[in-house]
Amino acid sequence: MKNLVSLGVLLTLAVSGCGKKTDSLNKPATYDGTWSGAGGGGLHVQQVVFASNDFPCKGSVTLQYGTGQTFNFNVNWEQKDGQVHGVYGLLRGKSIATVKLDGETLSGDVTVPIPIPNAPAGLTFSGFKKTTAAR
């Protein structure tokens, strides 16, 4: 009988996960950090940065023309209507980016806030992965 009680306690501990280590890699993704994706020809979104996962927070959106010139726009990230918006201060609080976190990837749309010759006024990006965590 003593062996049955010991076996029962052991099975209960095993099933309930007592002593089970948590895997830090299985934590849900957060916005904070630097996100980037594949480059591209023409004007494209190069990277998106969030200072933290608490909104509002500072960050930036960087566009790149081919493999050359970059355009960095400092934004304040805000949550509105269930979405995260990058608000560009020089446009009197106008949102230039709307982003969404889906699992481990970031996607979104960016409205180019300045005229750039031979470039589209709006860009879409997807599949961005976090390359560094926020400091």
Mean pLDDT of the chain: 81
Is pLDDT larger for residue 134 or for residue 40?
A: 40
pLDDT value for 27? 64
Give the tokens for residue 10: 């052991």
Residue type, 20: K
pLDDT of 29 higher than 70: yes
Q: pLDDT class for 19, splitting at 50, 70, 90?
A: very low
- Using one digit for the tens of pLDDT, what is the confidence trace for 89-125? 876 778 999 999 999 999 999 999 999 888 999 999 9
Count Cα atoms within 13 angstroms, Cβ side, for 5: 2
Domain ranges of the chain: 30-132
Estimate to the nearest angstrom the gap between the alpha carbon of 73 and the chain centroid: 16
